[in-house]
Structure 1
Amino acid sequence: MSQLLSLETPDHARPVRLHTERGVFAALDVPPAGHDPVRGTALLVPGFMGSKEDFLPMLPALSADGVRVLALDCRGQYETGDASPAPSHSRDDLARDLVAVARSLGTGPVHLLGHSYGGSLVRAAVIATQGDPSLWASVTLMNFGPGAVSSWQRERLRLLLSAVESMSLAEIWPLVRSKNESVPEHVERFLERRWMSNSPIQLAAVAQHMLDETDATADLARMSVPVSVISGTPDETWDPDGVERMARQLGARYVRIEGGGHSPNVHKPAEAASALLDFWLTRHGAAVA
Protein backbone atom coordinates (compact mmCIF):
# COMPACT_ATOMS: atom_id res chain seq x y z
CA MET A 1 0.00 0.00 0.00
CA SER A 2 1.40 3.39 -0.96
CA GLN A 3 1.77 5.75 1.96
CA LEU A 4 -0.17 8.98 2.47
CA LEU A 5 -0.34 11.34 5.43
CA SER A 6 -2.25 14.26 3.90
CA LEU A 7 -4.68 15.03 1.09
CA GLU A 8 -3.87 18.73 0.92
CA THR A 9 -4.12 19.77 -2.73
CA PRO A 10 -2.85 22.95 -4.41
CA ASP A 11 -5.66 25.43 -5.07
CA HIS A 12 -4.78 25.58 -8.76
CA ALA A 13 -4.78 21.81 -9.28
CA ARG A 14 -7.70 20.48 -11.28
CA PRO A 15 -8.94 16.94 -11.81
CA VAL A 16 -9.06 16.09 -15.52
CA ARG A 17 -9.96 13.24 -17.84
CA LEU A 18 -7.29 12.65 -20.45
CA HIS A 19 -8.79 11.31 -23.67
CA THR A 20 -6.26 9.17 -25.53
CA GLU A 21 -6.21 6.61 -28.31
CA ARG A 22 -6.14 3.94 -25.57
CA GLY A 23 -8.98 5.23 -23.42
CA VAL A 24 -9.73 7.85 -20.80
CA PHE A 25 -7.43 8.34 -17.81
CA ALA A 26 -7.99 10.29 -14.60
CA ALA A 27 -5.28 12.76 -13.62
CA LEU A 28 -4.50 15.84 -11.58
CA ASP A 29 -3.31 18.69 -13.79
CA VAL A 30 -1.25 21.28 -11.92
CA PRO A 31 -0.16 24.25 -14.06
CA PRO A 32 2.82 26.38 -13.08
CA ALA A 33 2.06 28.86 -10.34
CA GLY A 34 2.79 32.31 -11.75
CA HIS A 35 5.31 31.17 -14.36
CA ASP A 36 5.21 32.11 -18.04
CA PRO A 37 6.36 30.38 -20.12
CA VAL A 38 6.05 26.85 -18.78
CA ARG A 39 9.49 25.39 -18.02
CA GLY A 40 8.49 21.81 -18.84
CA THR A 41 5.79 19.20 -18.40
CA ALA A 42 6.09 16.22 -16.07
CA LEU A 43 4.02 13.03 -16.01
CA LEU A 44 4.03 11.23 -12.65
CA VAL A 45 3.16 7.52 -12.53
CA PRO A 46 2.22 5.90 -9.20
CA GLY A 47 3.12 2.46 -7.96
CA PHE A 48 1.19 -0.67 -7.01
CA MET A 49 -2.03 0.09 -5.08
CA GLY A 50 -1.24 3.79 -5.49
CA SER A 51 -2.86 6.70 -7.29
CA LYS A 52 -2.21 10.25 -8.45
CA GLU A 53 -2.74 11.44 -4.87
CA ASP A 54 0.59 9.85 -3.84
CA PHE A 55 2.32 12.90 -5.35
CA LEU A 56 0.24 15.59 -3.61
CA PRO A 57 2.98 16.63 -1.15
CA MET A 58 5.40 17.46 -4.00
CA LEU A 59 3.00 19.32 -6.27
CA PRO A 60 3.26 22.84 -4.76
CA ALA A 61 7.06 22.92 -5.02
CA LEU A 62 7.11 21.50 -8.54
CA SER A 63 4.54 23.93 -9.92
CA ALA A 64 6.05 26.88 -8.06
CA ASP A 65 9.23 26.42 -10.12
CA GLY A 66 7.42 26.62 -13.44
CA VAL A 67 6.75 22.97 -14.27
CA ARG A 68 3.32 21.75 -15.36
CA VAL A 69 2.68 18.49 -13.54
CA LEU A 70 0.20 15.75 -14.38
CA ALA A 71 -0.21 12.97 -11.81
CA LEU A 72 -1.93 9.90 -13.24
CA ASP A 73 -4.21 7.06 -12.19
CA CYS A 74 -3.13 4.13 -14.35
CA ARG A 75 -5.53 1.64 -15.90
CA GLY A 76 -7.32 -0.24 -13.12
CA GLN A 77 -6.40 2.34 -10.45
CA TYR A 78 -8.81 4.47 -8.43
CA GLU A 79 -10.62 7.00 -10.68
CA THR A 80 -9.41 5.72 -14.05
CA GLY A 81 -11.04 2.30 -13.82
CA ASP A 82 -10.91 0.18 -16.96
CA ALA A 83 -10.07 3.22 -19.20
CA SER A 84 -11.48 1.42 -22.25
CA PRO A 85 -13.60 -1.63 -23.17
CA ALA A 86 -11.98 -5.05 -22.79
CA PRO A 87 -9.00 -3.71 -20.82
CA SER A 88 -5.67 -5.49 -20.82
CA HIS A 89 -3.43 -5.26 -17.78
CA SER A 90 -0.31 -6.77 -19.31
CA ARG A 91 2.84 -4.82 -18.54
CA ASP A 92 3.29 -3.95 -22.21
CA ASP A 93 -0.25 -2.61 -22.48
CA LEU A 94 0.08 -0.56 -19.30
CA ALA A 95 3.29 0.90 -20.74
CA ARG A 96 1.51 1.66 -24.02
CA ASP A 97 -1.04 3.61 -21.97
CA LEU A 98 1.74 5.94 -20.80
CA VAL A 99 2.85 6.52 -24.37
CA ALA A 100 -0.73 7.37 -25.36
CA VAL A 101 -1.11 9.75 -22.43
CA ALA A 102 2.14 11.54 -23.27
CA ARG A 103 1.07 11.94 -26.89
CA SER A 104 -2.36 13.22 -25.91
CA LEU A 105 -0.90 16.15 -23.96
CA GLY A 106 0.42 17.85 -27.09
CA THR A 107 3.16 19.57 -25.11
CA GLY A 108 6.21 18.01 -26.70
CA PRO A 109 8.50 15.70 -24.70
CA VAL A 110 7.61 15.16 -21.05
CA HIS A 111 9.66 14.42 -17.96
CA LEU A 112 8.49 10.93 -17.00
CA LEU A 113 8.64 9.76 -13.39
CA GLY A 114 7.70 6.33 -12.06
CA HIS A 115 7.43 5.55 -8.35
CA SER A 116 7.94 1.93 -7.25
CA TYR A 117 6.08 -0.35 -9.71
CA GLY A 118 5.42 2.79 -11.73
CA GLY A 119 9.15 2.67 -12.45
CA SER A 120 8.69 -0.65 -14.21
CA LEU A 121 6.02 0.85 -16.48
CA VAL A 122 8.09 3.97 -17.13
CA ARG A 123 11.14 1.87 -18.03
CA ALA A 124 9.04 -0.34 -20.33
CA ALA A 125 7.48 2.69 -22.05
CA VAL A 126 10.85 4.29 -22.75
CA ILE A 127 12.39 1.05 -24.02
CA ALA A 128 9.36 0.27 -26.21
CA THR A 129 9.66 3.68 -27.89
CA GLN A 130 13.46 3.49 -28.18
CA GLY A 131 13.77 6.55 -25.94
CA ASP A 132 11.95 8.68 -28.52
CA PRO A 133 13.10 12.28 -27.84
CA SER A 134 9.81 13.62 -29.17
CA LEU A 135 8.08 11.85 -26.27
CA TRP A 136 10.54 11.86 -23.37
CA ALA A 137 12.59 14.79 -22.10
CA SER A 138 13.90 12.61 -19.28
CA VAL A 139 13.03 9.62 -17.12
CA THR A 140 13.23 9.29 -13.34
CA LEU A 141 12.98 6.05 -11.37
CA MET A 142 11.95 6.66 -7.74
CA ASN A 143 12.37 3.77 -5.29
CA PHE A 144 12.38 1.25 -8.11
CA GLY A 145 15.06 -1.41 -8.34
CA PRO A 146 16.64 -3.25 -11.22
CA GLY A 147 14.78 -6.53 -10.86
CA ALA A 148 12.98 -8.66 -8.30
CA VAL A 149 11.59 -7.20 -5.09
CA SER A 150 12.80 -8.40 -1.71
CA SER A 151 11.92 -11.89 -0.50
CA TRP A 152 9.70 -10.35 2.20
CA GLN A 153 7.71 -8.41 -0.40
CA ARG A 154 7.50 -11.46 -2.66
CA GLU A 155 5.81 -13.35 0.15
CA ARG A 156 3.34 -10.50 0.65
CA LEU A 157 2.56 -10.44 -3.07
CA ARG A 158 1.87 -14.19 -3.09
CA LEU A 159 -0.49 -13.76 -0.15
CA LEU A 160 -2.28 -10.93 -1.91
CA LEU A 161 -2.66 -12.98 -5.08
CA SER A 162 -4.20 -15.80 -3.08
CA ALA A 163 -6.56 -13.38 -1.31
CA VAL A 164 -7.72 -11.64 -4.50
CA GLU A 165 -8.66 -15.02 -5.97
CA SER A 166 -10.85 -15.98 -3.00
CA MET A 167 -11.95 -12.80 -1.18
CA SER A 168 -13.66 -9.50 -1.95
CA LEU A 169 -11.74 -6.22 -1.76
CA ALA A 170 -13.81 -5.31 1.32
CA GLU A 171 -12.69 -8.51 3.03
CA ILE A 172 -9.05 -7.90 2.09
CA TRP A 173 -8.97 -4.24 3.25
CA PRO A 174 -8.29 -4.98 6.97
CA LEU A 175 -5.28 -7.03 5.87
CA VAL A 176 -3.68 -4.32 3.70
CA ARG A 177 -4.70 -1.11 5.47
CA SER A 178 -2.02 1.09 6.98
CA LYS A 179 -1.11 0.35 10.58
CA ASN A 180 0.41 3.83 10.96
CA GLU A 181 -1.47 5.51 13.81
CA SER A 182 -0.34 8.95 12.61
CA VAL A 183 -2.51 8.68 9.48
CA PRO A 184 -5.45 11.08 9.95
CA GLU A 185 -8.93 9.57 9.94
CA HIS A 186 -10.00 11.36 6.74
CA VAL A 187 -6.89 10.06 4.95
CA GLU A 188 -7.66 6.54 6.19
CA ARG A 189 -11.18 6.87 4.76
CA PHE A 190 -9.72 7.98 1.43
CA LEU A 191 -7.31 5.04 1.37
CA GLU A 192 -10.19 2.64 1.95
CA ARG A 193 -12.27 4.29 -0.79
CA ARG A 194 -9.33 4.13 -3.17
CA TRP A 195 -8.69 0.47 -2.39
CA MET A 196 -12.34 -0.39 -3.02
CA SER A 197 -12.18 1.42 -6.39
CA ASN A 198 -9.27 -0.64 -7.70
CA SER A 199 -9.78 -3.38 -10.26
CA PRO A 200 -9.19 -6.81 -8.68
CA ILE A 201 -7.99 -8.03 -12.09
CA GLN A 202 -5.43 -5.22 -12.22
CA LEU A 203 -4.28 -5.92 -8.65
CA ALA A 204 -3.70 -9.59 -9.46
CA ALA A 205 -1.96 -8.79 -12.76
CA VAL A 206 0.40 -6.24 -11.26
CA ALA A 207 1.23 -8.45 -8.27
CA GLN A 208 2.25 -11.13 -10.77
CA HIS A 209 4.25 -8.59 -12.78
CA MET A 210 6.23 -7.71 -9.66
CA LEU A 211 6.88 -11.37 -8.91
CA ASP A 212 8.08 -11.89 -12.49
CA GLU A 213 10.15 -8.68 -12.71
CA THR A 214 13.46 -9.07 -14.53
CA ASP A 215 16.39 -6.72 -14.81
CA ALA A 216 16.10 -4.56 -17.94
CA THR A 217 18.70 -2.02 -16.82
CA ALA A 218 20.98 -2.74 -19.77
CA ASP A 219 18.13 -2.12 -22.21
CA LEU A 220 17.32 1.25 -20.63
CA ALA A 221 21.02 2.15 -20.60
CA ARG A 222 21.06 1.88 -24.38
CA MET A 223 18.46 4.64 -24.70
CA SER A 224 19.67 8.20 -25.15
CA VAL A 225 17.10 9.70 -22.78
CA PRO A 226 18.57 11.39 -19.66
CA VAL A 227 17.95 9.30 -16.53
CA SER A 228 17.86 10.06 -12.83
CA VAL A 229 17.35 7.68 -9.91
CA ILE A 230 15.96 8.71 -6.52
CA SER A 231 16.11 6.31 -3.58
CA GLY A 232 14.42 6.98 -0.27
CA THR A 233 15.80 4.99 2.65
CA PRO A 234 15.20 2.70 4.39
CA ASP A 235 13.30 0.68 1.80
CA GLU A 236 12.14 -2.91 2.31
CA THR A 237 10.99 -3.35 -1.31
CA TRP A 238 14.20 -2.72 -3.28
CA ASP A 239 17.54 -2.55 -1.50
CA PRO A 240 18.90 1.03 -1.79
CA ASP A 241 22.41 -0.32 -2.45
CA GLY A 242 21.06 -2.31 -5.39
CA VAL A 243 19.23 0.79 -6.62
CA GLU A 244 22.51 2.74 -6.49
CA ARG A 245 24.29 0.03 -8.48
CA MET A 246 21.52 0.28 -11.07
CA ALA A 247 22.06 4.04 -11.25
CA ARG A 248 25.76 3.51 -11.90
CA GLN A 249 24.99 1.10 -14.73
CA LEU A 250 22.57 3.63 -16.23
CA GLY A 251 25.03 6.51 -15.88
CA ALA A 252 22.16 8.25 -14.11
CA ARG A 253 22.09 11.15 -11.71
CA TYR A 254 21.55 9.50 -8.32
CA VAL A 255 20.05 11.00 -5.16
CA ARG A 256 19.61 9.07 -1.91
CA ILE A 257 17.09 10.65 0.47
CA GLU A 258 17.70 9.49 4.02
CA GLY A 259 14.47 9.05 5.97
CA GLY A 260 12.39 9.05 2.82
CA GLY A 261 11.50 5.38 3.14
CA HIS A 262 9.76 3.75 0.22
CA SER A 263 7.84 6.98 -0.44
CA PRO A 264 10.13 10.03 -0.32
CA ASN A 265 7.38 11.83 -2.25
CA VAL A 266 5.37 11.60 1.00
CA HIS A 267 7.94 11.54 3.80
CA LYS A 268 10.52 13.94 2.34
CA PRO A 269 8.60 15.86 -0.35
CA ALA A 270 10.78 18.98 -0.25
CA GLU A 271 13.94 16.94 -0.82
CA ALA A 272 12.31 14.83 -3.52
CA ALA A 273 10.94 17.87 -5.35
CA SER A 274 14.32 19.61 -5.15
CA ALA A 275 16.06 16.56 -6.67
CA LEU A 276 13.52 16.44 -9.49
CA LEU A 277 13.67 20.14 -10.29
CA ASP A 278 17.46 20.16 -10.26
CA PHE A 279 17.41 17.32 -12.80
CA TRP A 280 14.55 18.55 -14.97
CA LEU A 281 15.61 22.17 -15.19
CA THR A 282 19.38 21.71 -15.55
CA ARG A 283 20.07 18.08 -16.61
CA HIS A 284 23.80 18.73 -16.55
CA GLY A 285 24.76 17.48 -13.10
CA ALA A 286 27.26 14.70 -12.75
CA ALA A 287 26.02 11.14 -13.04
CA VAL A 288 26.78 8.75 -10.22
CA ALA A 289 30.47 7.83 -10.37
Structure 2
Amino acid sequence: MEALPVSGVPERWPALLVPGLTGSKEDFIAVLQTLAQSGRRVIAIDMRGQFETSGPDDPSAYTCAALGNDVDLLAQAIGEGEPVHLVGHSFGGLVTREAVIDGRTKFASYTLMSSGPAAIVGPRERAGRAMLRELPELGMEQLWHSRMEPEALAAGVPDEIVSFLRKRLFSNSPAGMVTMTREVLSAPDRCGELTQVEVPVLVLYGEHDDGWPPSMQSEMALRLNADCVVVPGSVHSPAVEAPETTAAALVRFWNAAEARSRG
Protein backbone atom coordinates (compact mmCIF):
# COMPACT_ATOMS: atom_id res chain seq x y z
CA MET A 1 0.00 0.00 0.00
CA GLU A 2 1.37 3.38 -1.00
CA ALA A 3 0.50 6.86 0.20
CA LEU A 4 1.75 10.15 -1.25
CA PRO A 5 1.36 13.80 -0.25
CA VAL A 6 -1.73 15.49 -1.71
CA SER A 7 0.58 17.44 -4.03
CA GLY A 8 1.87 14.12 -5.35
CA VAL A 9 5.44 15.37 -4.94
CA PRO A 10 7.41 13.89 -2.00
CA GLU A 11 9.85 16.45 -0.57
CA ARG A 12 11.31 14.29 2.19
CA TRP A 13 12.86 10.84 2.39
CA PRO A 14 10.47 7.88 1.98
CA ALA A 15 9.38 5.35 4.59
CA LEU A 16 8.89 1.57 4.58
CA LEU A 17 6.55 -0.04 7.13
CA VAL A 18 6.82 -3.78 7.91
CA PRO A 19 4.05 -5.64 9.83
CA GLY A 20 4.12 -8.34 12.47
CA LEU A 21 3.69 -12.12 12.34
CA THR A 22 -0.09 -12.41 11.88
CA GLY A 23 -0.41 -8.91 10.44
CA SER A 24 -0.29 -7.29 7.02
CA LYS A 25 0.09 -3.91 5.33
CA GLU A 26 -3.49 -3.06 6.36
CA ASP A 27 -2.32 -2.69 9.97
CA PHE A 28 -0.90 0.70 8.93
CA ILE A 29 -3.97 2.06 7.08
CA ALA A 30 -4.89 4.47 9.86
CA VAL A 31 -1.49 6.22 9.79
CA LEU A 32 -0.51 6.03 6.12
CA GLN A 33 -2.02 9.25 4.82
CA THR A 34 -1.02 11.28 7.88
CA LEU A 35 2.57 10.11 7.46
CA ALA A 36 2.47 10.92 3.75
CA GLN A 37 1.21 14.42 4.47
CA SER A 38 4.55 15.11 6.14
CA GLY A 39 5.96 15.22 2.61
CA ARG A 40 6.87 11.58 2.09
CA ARG A 41 6.15 8.56 -0.03
CA VAL A 42 5.11 5.90 2.52
CA ILE A 43 4.84 2.21 1.67
CA ALA A 44 3.42 -0.58 3.84
CA ILE A 45 3.98 -4.18 2.78
CA ASP A 46 2.98 -7.76 3.35
CA MET A 47 6.08 -9.80 4.00
CA ARG A 48 6.72 -12.89 1.90
CA GLY A 49 3.96 -15.44 2.55
CA GLN A 50 1.64 -12.90 4.19
CA PHE A 51 -1.86 -12.15 2.89
CA GLU A 52 -1.44 -10.82 -0.69
CA THR A 53 2.26 -11.61 -1.10
CA SER A 54 2.80 -15.22 -2.10
CA GLY A 55 5.67 -17.37 -0.91
CA PRO A 56 7.13 -20.85 -1.42
CA ASP A 57 6.59 -23.93 0.72
CA ASP A 58 10.29 -23.93 1.67
CA PRO A 59 10.57 -23.05 5.40
CA SER A 60 14.00 -21.46 4.87
CA ALA A 61 12.29 -18.66 2.92
CA TYR A 62 10.71 -17.34 6.14
CA THR A 63 13.63 -16.93 8.52
CA CYS A 64 14.43 -13.47 9.86
CA ALA A 65 17.54 -13.42 7.68
CA ALA A 66 15.64 -14.29 4.49
CA LEU A 67 12.87 -11.79 5.18
CA GLY A 68 15.44 -9.18 6.17
CA ASN A 69 17.06 -9.61 2.77
CA ASP A 70 13.68 -8.82 1.20
CA VAL A 71 13.55 -5.63 3.28
CA ASP A 72 17.01 -4.64 2.03
CA LEU A 73 15.97 -5.07 -1.60
CA LEU A 74 12.68 -3.24 -1.12
CA ALA A 75 14.30 -0.33 0.68
CA GLN A 76 16.91 0.05 -2.04
CA ALA A 77 14.21 0.06 -4.72
CA ILE A 78 12.00 2.51 -2.81
CA GLY A 79 14.84 4.85 -1.89
CA GLU A 80 16.29 5.05 -5.41
CA GLY A 81 19.60 6.16 -3.94
CA GLU A 82 18.14 8.08 -1.00
CA PRO A 83 17.97 6.83 2.61
CA VAL A 84 14.69 5.27 3.77
CA HIS A 85 12.95 5.49 7.15
CA LEU A 86 12.33 1.90 8.31
CA VAL A 87 9.62 0.79 10.75
CA GLY A 88 9.19 -2.79 12.02
CA HIS A 89 6.15 -3.77 14.08
CA SER A 90 6.42 -6.70 16.53
CA PHE A 91 7.94 -9.66 14.63
CA GLY A 92 8.60 -7.14 11.86
CA GLY A 93 11.06 -5.51 14.25
CA LEU A 94 13.08 -8.73 14.45
CA VAL A 95 13.05 -8.94 10.65
CA THR A 96 13.94 -5.32 9.94
CA ARG A 97 16.86 -5.28 12.36
CA GLU A 98 18.48 -7.90 10.12
CA ALA A 99 18.49 -5.37 7.30
CA VAL A 100 19.81 -2.61 9.57
CA ILE A 101 22.62 -4.72 11.04
CA ASP A 102 23.83 -6.19 7.75
CA GLY A 103 24.74 -2.67 6.58
CA ARG A 104 23.90 -3.16 2.91
CA THR A 105 21.26 -0.42 2.87
CA LYS A 106 21.50 3.17 4.08
CA PHE A 107 18.56 3.88 6.40
CA ALA A 108 17.51 7.39 7.41
CA SER A 109 16.13 6.07 10.71
CA TYR A 110 14.92 2.89 12.34
CA THR A 111 11.81 2.42 14.50
CA LEU A 112 11.10 -0.65 16.61
CA MET A 113 7.33 -0.56 17.19
CA SER A 114 6.05 -2.90 19.91
CA SER A 115 9.07 -5.12 19.38
CA GLY A 116 11.79 -6.41 21.66
CA PRO A 117 15.45 -7.30 22.00
CA ALA A 118 15.03 -11.07 21.60
CA ALA A 119 12.36 -13.80 21.61
CA ILE A 120 8.85 -12.76 22.61
CA VAL A 121 7.73 -13.54 26.16
CA GLY A 122 4.56 -13.66 28.23
CA PRO A 123 1.05 -14.42 26.93
CA ARG A 124 2.03 -14.03 23.27
CA GLU A 125 4.86 -16.51 23.77
CA ARG A 126 2.37 -19.02 25.17
CA ALA A 127 -0.01 -18.36 22.26
CA GLY A 128 2.84 -18.88 19.80
CA ARG A 129 3.82 -22.22 21.32
CA ALA A 130 0.20 -23.36 21.25
CA MET A 131 -0.02 -22.35 17.58
CA LEU A 132 3.09 -24.39 16.79
CA ARG A 133 1.46 -27.44 18.36
CA GLU A 134 -1.91 -26.96 16.66
CA LEU A 135 -1.17 -25.56 13.21
CA PRO A 136 0.69 -28.50 11.60
CA GLU A 137 -1.93 -30.99 12.77
CA LEU A 138 -5.19 -29.04 12.76
CA GLY A 139 -4.54 -26.36 10.14
CA MET A 140 -5.69 -22.75 9.73
CA GLU A 141 -9.37 -23.60 10.17
CA GLN A 142 -8.91 -24.82 13.73
CA LEU A 143 -6.59 -21.92 14.56
CA TRP A 144 -9.25 -19.48 13.41
CA HIS A 145 -12.24 -21.10 15.15
CA SER A 146 -10.51 -22.01 18.41
CA ARG A 147 -8.39 -18.95 18.97
CA MET A 148 -8.50 -15.96 16.62
CA GLU A 149 -12.24 -15.63 15.97
CA PRO A 150 -13.24 -15.88 19.67
CA GLU A 151 -10.60 -13.28 20.58
CA ALA A 152 -11.87 -10.89 17.90
CA LEU A 153 -15.52 -11.33 18.92
CA ALA A 154 -14.70 -10.90 22.62
CA ALA A 155 -12.94 -7.63 21.80
CA GLY A 156 -16.03 -6.32 19.99
CA VAL A 157 -14.37 -6.19 16.57
CA PRO A 158 -16.94 -5.19 13.88
CA ASP A 159 -18.22 -7.97 11.61
CA GLU A 160 -16.58 -6.59 8.47
CA ILE A 161 -13.19 -6.52 10.21
CA VAL A 162 -13.69 -10.07 11.50
CA SER A 163 -14.35 -11.15 7.90
CA PHE A 164 -11.17 -9.42 6.78
CA LEU A 165 -9.14 -11.07 9.57
CA ARG A 166 -10.42 -14.48 8.49
CA LYS A 167 -9.61 -13.82 4.85
CA ARG A 168 -6.13 -12.62 5.80
CA LEU A 169 -5.34 -15.62 7.97
CA PHE A 170 -6.39 -18.11 5.31
CA SER A 171 -4.30 -16.29 2.70
CA ASN A 172 -1.10 -16.77 4.71
CA SER A 173 1.42 -19.46 3.82
CA PRO A 174 1.14 -22.28 6.41
CA ALA A 175 4.87 -22.97 6.06
CA GLY A 176 5.54 -19.28 6.56
CA MET A 177 3.34 -19.10 9.67
CA VAL A 178 5.11 -22.06 11.29
CA THR A 179 8.63 -20.85 10.51
CA MET A 180 7.98 -17.23 11.47
CA THR A 181 6.43 -18.39 14.75
CA ARG A 182 9.53 -20.45 15.49
CA GLU A 183 11.67 -17.42 14.69
CA VAL A 184 9.78 -15.08 17.05
CA LEU A 185 10.03 -17.71 19.82
CA SER A 186 13.78 -18.24 19.45
CA ALA A 187 15.22 -14.89 18.30
CA PRO A 188 18.58 -14.02 19.89
CA ASP A 189 19.38 -10.67 21.48
CA ARG A 190 21.17 -8.54 18.85
CA CYS A 191 21.12 -5.16 20.58
CA GLY A 192 24.91 -5.15 20.84
CA GLU A 193 25.23 -5.46 17.07
CA LEU A 194 22.56 -2.84 16.49
CA THR A 195 24.45 -0.28 18.57
CA GLN A 196 27.34 -0.55 16.13
CA VAL A 197 25.20 0.83 13.30
CA GLU A 198 25.09 4.60 12.85
CA VAL A 199 21.35 5.12 12.50
CA PRO A 200 18.88 7.04 14.69
CA VAL A 201 16.65 4.57 16.54
CA LEU A 202 13.18 5.03 18.04
CA VAL A 203 11.55 2.53 20.39
CA LEU A 204 7.77 3.05 20.37
CA TYR A 205 5.26 0.89 22.23
CA GLY A 206 1.87 0.92 23.96
CA GLU A 207 1.73 1.47 27.69
CA HIS A 208 -0.19 -1.81 28.09
CA ASP A 209 1.80 -3.92 25.60
CA ASP A 210 1.07 -7.63 26.08
CA GLY A 211 3.93 -8.80 23.86
CA TRP A 212 7.32 -7.72 25.07
CA PRO A 213 6.67 -6.01 28.44
CA PRO A 214 6.93 -2.19 28.42
CA SER A 215 9.76 -2.40 30.97
CA MET A 216 11.74 -4.65 28.62
CA GLN A 217 11.24 -2.26 25.70
CA SER A 218 12.22 0.71 27.86
CA GLU A 219 15.42 -1.07 28.89
CA MET A 220 16.10 -1.89 25.24
CA ALA A 221 15.79 1.80 24.35
CA LEU A 222 18.42 2.63 26.98
CA ARG A 223 20.75 -0.07 25.65
CA LEU A 224 20.37 1.28 22.11
CA ASN A 225 20.66 4.93 23.18
CA ALA A 226 17.36 5.33 21.34
CA ASP A 227 14.51 7.80 21.56
CA CYS A 228 11.57 6.26 23.40
CA VAL A 229 7.83 6.97 23.04
CA VAL A 230 5.14 5.31 25.16
CA VAL A 231 1.69 5.51 23.54
CA PRO A 232 -1.01 6.06 26.19
CA GLY A 233 -3.89 3.59 26.16
CA SER A 234 -2.35 1.41 23.46
CA VAL A 235 -1.60 -2.30 23.76
CA HIS A 236 0.37 -4.11 21.03
CA SER A 237 -0.72 -2.24 17.89
CA PRO A 238 -0.22 1.52 18.34
CA ALA A 239 -0.82 2.28 14.64
CA VAL A 240 -4.29 0.75 14.98
CA GLU A 241 -5.18 1.69 18.55
CA ALA A 242 -3.77 5.25 18.67
CA PRO A 243 -3.03 6.29 15.07
CA GLU A 244 -2.82 10.05 15.62
CA THR A 245 -0.36 9.78 18.50
CA THR A 246 1.68 7.16 16.66
CA ALA A 247 1.83 9.10 13.40
CA ALA A 248 2.80 12.32 15.18
CA ALA A 249 5.62 10.55 17.03
CA LEU A 250 6.96 9.02 13.80
CA VAL A 251 6.86 12.32 11.91
CA ARG A 252 8.68 14.14 14.72
CA PHE A 253 11.36 11.45 14.83
CA TRP A 254 11.76 11.32 11.05
CA ASN A 255 12.03 15.09 10.75
CA ALA A 256 14.65 15.24 13.50
CA ALA A 257 16.62 12.37 11.93
CA GLU A 258 16.66 14.13 8.56
CA ALA A 259 17.69 17.43 10.12
CA ARG A 260 20.62 15.77 11.90
CA SER A 261 21.67 13.88 8.78
CA ARG A 262 21.55 16.87 6.47
CA GLY A 263 23.15 19.09 9.07
Does the pair score TM above 0.5?
yes
In structure 1, the partner of 2:243 is 269
Q: What residue in structure 2 maps to residue 20 of structure 1?
A: none
What whole-Å deviation, never above 9, does each CA across 1:133-177 have from its counterpart, x for those lacking one? Answer: 3xx111100010112322322221111011111012122211223
Aligned twin of 1:162: 133
- Cα distance between partner residues in 2 of 1:35 and 1:100: 24
Q: Which has a greater percent of strand?
A: 1
**Offset at residue 91 of structure 1 (A):** 1.5
Is 1:138 matched with 2:109?
A: yes
1:73 equivalent in alignment to 2:55: no
Matched with 2:148 is 176
When you count helix as a share of all residues, which structure comes out higher? 2
Please identify runs of 4+ aligned residues in structure 1 that moved more than 4 A. 83-87
How many angstroms does 1:283 deviate by? 2.3
Q: State the 1:182 CA deviation.
A: 2.8
Partners of 1:151 and 1:281 in 2: how far apart? Answer: 34
Where do residues 42-61 of structure 1 align in structure 2 (5 Å cutoff)?
42-61=15-34
Deviation at 1:45, TM superposition (A): 0.1
Q: Distance in 2 between matches of 1:247 and 1:33?
A: 34
Post-superposition offset of 1:36:
3.7
**TM-score normalised by the chain length of structure 2:** 0.91
The answer for the alignment partner of 1:32 in structure 2 is 5
Say if 2:65 is the partner of 1:92.
yes
Q: Is the 8 A contact 1:217 1:246 kept in 2?
A: yes
Percent same amino acid among aligned pairs?
35
Aligned amino acid, residue 109 of structure 2? S
Q: Which amino acid aligns with 2:235?
A: G
| Pair 86,173 (structure 1): closer, same or farther in 2 beyond 3 Å | closer
Cα distance in structure 1, aligned partners of 2:113 and 2:246: 9
1:153 aligns with 2:121: no
Report the more deviating stretch, 273-282 or 162-171. 162-171
Aligned to 2:220: 246
Q: Aligned partners of 2:101 and 2:59: how far apart in 1? A: 25
Give the superposed CA RMSD: 2.1
Distance 2:21 2:218 in 1: 22
Asked if structure 1 preserves the Cα contact closer than 8 Å seen for 2:57 and 2:175, the reply is no
Aligned length: 256
Matched, 1:283 2:244: no
Could you tell me how far apart the structure 2 residues matched to 1:284 and 1:244 are?
Answer: 24
2:189 corresponds in structure 1 to 215
Shift of 1:180: 3.9
What stretches of structure 2 of length at least 5 have no aligned partner? Answer: none
Q: What TM-score does the superposition give when structure 1 sets the normalisation length? A: 0.83
